[in-house]
Amino acid sequence: MLANQFCKRRKILYERTKKMKAFLILEDGHVFTGTSIGSGKEVISEIVFNTSMTGYLEVLTDPSYAGQAVTMTYPLIGNYGINFSDMESKKPWVKGFIVRELSRTASNFRCEGSIQDFLEKHDIPGIAGIDTRALTKLLREKGTMNGMITTDENYDLDKILPQLSAYEVGNVVDEVTCSEPAVLKGTGKKVALMDFGAKNNIARSLNKRGCEVTIYPAHTGAEEILAAKPDGIMLSNGPGDPKSCTQIIAEIKKLYDSDVPIFAICLGHQLMALATGADTHKLKYGHRGGNHPVKDLRTGRVYISSQNHGYVVDTDTLDPKVAKPAFVNVNDGTNEGLEYIGKQIFTVQFHPEACPGPQDSAYLFDRFIEMMGGEQ
């Protein structure tokens, strides 16, 4: 039984019947040539990079990557294979996967399969064998760009470049949210989790602290949420431009006007800021990885955090009577969290649930439970 469930240290060979060429074409005209991995289909997406050394399955299945192809900056990916219990949602959401080298073998006692098989199963194209360091430097210098992954050796740049310029990630929250409410039973505080593309470990982090977590679709009205009389409300992470979520922002304003404690992460943090009159803007190349330092402005302590966002709250637009900065990014000084004046509301841009990444800031879930009147 166990031998069938796990790889038991045996090696899985990534045997491909053919080494098909693949091309990554960027909207500025740069072309990277490598080898096709995963599906052989052609795809256009926003090209981003993640600096995590491990956790590639969690990255692949993070709904916040919907509409994007992810470049892993760590040079060797896939050496410990796939373990399905590490997935952060029911399926992968990336549109493409870009690596320097895909490990030909996977060896780990938890291994249940290979990345190659996983990508093929979910019809996700990718490219390996390119200089991901050069690609990352290019994205840092010029900013995030759209791109195409294709296996067509007769590609026509004159036709492709206008398509790349026209691509938009769009309102992908509607694609990643759940279709109906779900409940994780618990004996403690009742939490309403708004699913804008929530990673599994947000609900798990609350549930393992005893909370009963009800997960609601993104467009659930504030009246329905408040009618359930939750002890607290959690606004999740999610993909895309927060300004595209106009209806959701209107409902969050109603939640803000209630007296229910609220904790928000990533997209939820941005949506709460927009709902209370602040603005957001797109970063040049975003923050994605498990090694981003953030400073708690209350204590001066620095935490290493997991991050995945391309947009940020513009603190210059904050009304000081409404909210004040609570965390700041040590690298570039951008906002990483807000504390709302006279309200039981705090929000963070980074990911205290990690998965993947450091768990330095997991204490924020305890803080939320204390805010709801619970004990830790």
From the candidates 7, 266, 287, 336, give the one annotated as an active-site residue. 266
d(CA 376, CA 373): 10
- In the numeric block, which tokens belong to residue 10? 């045996």
Helix axes 267-275, 246-257, angle to 10 degrees: 70
Model pLDDT, residue 34: 98
| Ranges of CATH 3.40.50.880 domains, the chain | 173-371
Percent of the chain predicted with pLDDT > 90: 92
Tally of CB atoms within 10 A around 330: 15
Please give the average per-residue pLDDT across 242-259, as a whole number. 97
d(CA 309, CA 286): 6
Residues 6+ apart with CB under 8 A from 159: none
What Å distances lie between residue 256 and 48, 191, 229, 324, 366, CA to CA? 32, 15, 15, 15, 21
From the candidates 7, 58, 351, 355, give the one annotated as an active-site residue. 351
Each residue's pLDDT tens digit, 274-320: 999 999 999 999 999 999 999 999 999 999 999 999 999 999 999 99
Model pLDDT, residue 11: 42
Please give the average per-residue pLDDT across 99-105, as a whole number. 94
Has residue 8 got a pLDDT over 60?
no
Has residue 54 got a pLDDT over 50?
yes
Band of the pLDDT at 159, cuts 50, 70, 90? Answer: very high
DSSP 316: G
* Residue type at position 61: T
Please give the average per-residue pLDDT across 205-212, as a whole number. 97
Please give the average per-residue pLDDT across 177-197, as a whole number. 97
Q: Are 100 and 211 in contact (CB under 8 A)?
A: no
d(CA 26, CA 210): 47
Does 122 participate in catalysis according to the annotation?
no
Q: Which CATH architecture has domain 10-166?
A: 3-Layer(bba) Sandwich (3.50)
Give the dihedral of Cα atoms 147, 266, 231, 322; nearest 10 deg.
Answer: -130
Does 281 participate in catalysis according to the annotation?
no
Average confidence score pLDDT of the chain: 94
Burial label, 281 (beta-carbon count in 10 A; 0-12, 13-18, 19+)? exposed
From the candidates 7, 112, 353, 355, give the one annotated as an active-site residue. 353
Model pLDDT, residue 374: 74
- In the numeric block, which tokens belong to residue 256? 């803000």
* Residue type at position 165: S
d(CA 36, CA 152): 11
Each residue's pLDDT tens digit, 9-51: 334 334 443 479 999 999 999 999 999 999 999 999 999 999 9
Domain 173-371 belongs to what topology? Rossmann fold (3.40.50)
Model pLDDT, residue 375: 64
Model pLDDT, residue 5: 42
Q: Are 118 and 12 in contact (CB under 8 A)?
A: no
Model pLDDT, residue 346: 97
Model pLDDT, residue 9: 37
Model pLDDT, residue 368: 97
Does 219 participate in catalysis according to the annotation?
no
* SS3 category, 63: helix
Please give the average per-residue pLDDT across 196-223, as a whole number. 97
| Ranges of CATH 3.50.30.20 domains, the chain | 10-166
Band of the pLDDT at 104, cuts 50, 70, 90? Answer: confident
d(CA 123, CA 187): 40
What Å distances lie between residue 287 and 17, 343, 354, CA to CA? 37, 28, 14
Please give the average per-residue pLDDT across 334-357, as a whole number. 97
- In the numeric block, which tokens belong to residue 284? 């040049």
Model pLDDT, residue 19: 76
